[in-house]
Structure 1
């Protein structure tokens, strides 16, 4: 059914093949057929890759808390994750000059898979009280490597999907893909939280984490097998298409994409002043159990399922900038609302509901905006350098948050709430500085046609 729907969409779309041979050059009809198959495969791959990522995102911080990683250490960890992941993307984009996208994607995921047994092994060490003083250091190291290896695949995957999915169907396709992936990930994450809470009651919470991460490991392995079955169209980076980091930086002040990059960088900076401490705030300050913690965290992606079709349609019909502005001006309210609502139900019904709409729109419009504003041959370079700037935002925001955590006064009940106030204020400042200066591209192009 998915393949039939995609085939009908594809008949009205234009696509061009690139020049270098990652696979033998196919006829136009065979090329189109393989692309349709890959669009369907990508949704299936996303089920397992998305599940692995969701389990990692939701449970790695509580796992770290169980292994005695301090809030300051977690802030530093998140900062370096944000910095090193874009470095991995730059390395991955440069490898595209000499390696096939298939090779880059599969090797990156393979090395990422190798980190899971090491992360799981630390749980066994903790259960037996072996080397307790160095377990936090090794967890941070393995998690950084896990994220780094995964990040090297980003530019190749982004470039690939730009070739596979027709331009006039991207908003709907990626919203549909996200809808299915998010739905499955949420369902299984809720089951994982129930499992974890039962192990906590039995005073064996580490066993629960080990089971969850084993599932994540296996899911990522299945994801890898689907990626191996993707169609990777002919692709070559010509010498004139190479974009150095220096030239990218030079373009920032005078380009539409440069303004967008600066805006997203400063928003990322603002977000990471407070976000690394949300888990500590819920588990320690608000005393949530694991089910409440996961329910609040997963409420945003769950609610977002209702917004994917709407926002994907709006993005395709009216352009990405309108959606970006509407959702961007909702972002400052999110951390501030956390100060005034502190029960699970209140958080789900108010800040998390708004967050679902805002971040769904931001992510969809930002992804499509990038595709619309950069040359096809330079997608890998642009996305790597763009994510490097976002990584700098994560690094600087996280480090500033770690410093502020030690020195800011407690204005409300908790020092974490002071960080939330600072985070929201910074978001609002950067909204006014940049959002109205970013121009739409796709709508203008459509009018010309």
Structure 2
């Protein structure tokens, strides 16, 4: 493990350790949107495309239209809200498998009921294009998704090219078998970390605080006018004035404000004005924060990431990486569990804490209970009576994943080296977690994370 402490931005979202020993190459990602390209692969091996000279033909029938959504510098949920308004439907009718980076060029599959959008239709809005491909019996869900393909360029590297090559080779050697399956920065909001904080207050039943965190937390890129508007709202509770002051691009904040103008003390009703996907994302983000803290503590205590210990949960995995069943490791099955994890058919897992969760046993279980105690929450808190649709029963997440199809190229542009990476990660795993091990940025925000 690298001995230098990660920066505060990392530690605030539970990334309290590095897994590799090198000092990192520094640099910056996402200098241009084309420097960070993400494509999605479905379970039937259908791959999304960035450049659609000829859209793929998808044969099939059913009540849903399968679409390819290509976006550049757009957040997914505000984009889907805009598309739903253009199509005359609601954002909840879109099916999608996962969120993709905002500051990037990304391509993914979505579904929408066919009565709103049929092949060969195309819809273009600022920074995005929706292309109807064919019909489908079921909507896109997380279980439909298999992997993501990444192409990433790291620029503005200040060390010499030979040292870059040496460091990349060293880190790749450390990560060739596995990387810790932390949740990445975009799960929480890098320049405005608020998503998990709102979720924490929802779990604790503090709905007023949750609303004002979303409305009044300042972001790194807020201009002075917006900063003053957030401060003014926190001080005055003047929702009408805030609605006039908040820019139109803050779609979700403005939805909250409109609700509060109508019903000033009903903070649950205000939260319910937000798309269901976003309401659930708040709670999911808090689960992710707890997971990151628990996994960081495991690594800090030198418990293995690549093999189970007594008391750990082990997931049996389907060919697409989905959990089939879960068991707990004891003295009698430790040797067998180690072989299954080594073979790749099983994975060591931590709980994503929910109201039906079991915690691990042994030393890992002690870590989990300590984190929950420090946070002042219990699994029962994830049942939210006032917002039952946001309740979460919990699940499991593998603590490590293996990057595949990994390649890299180091070249010079001007007088500085540039590193180009290509790799594939399982669904739900974050490229930024892999990249932070190579770069070890002192300031992740300015480094493009």
Higher relative contact order (CA 8 A, sep 6+): 1
TM-score, length-scaled by structure 2: 0.26
The structure whose residues are more often helix, as a share, is: 1
**Could you tell me the TM-score, scaled by structure 1's length?**
0.26
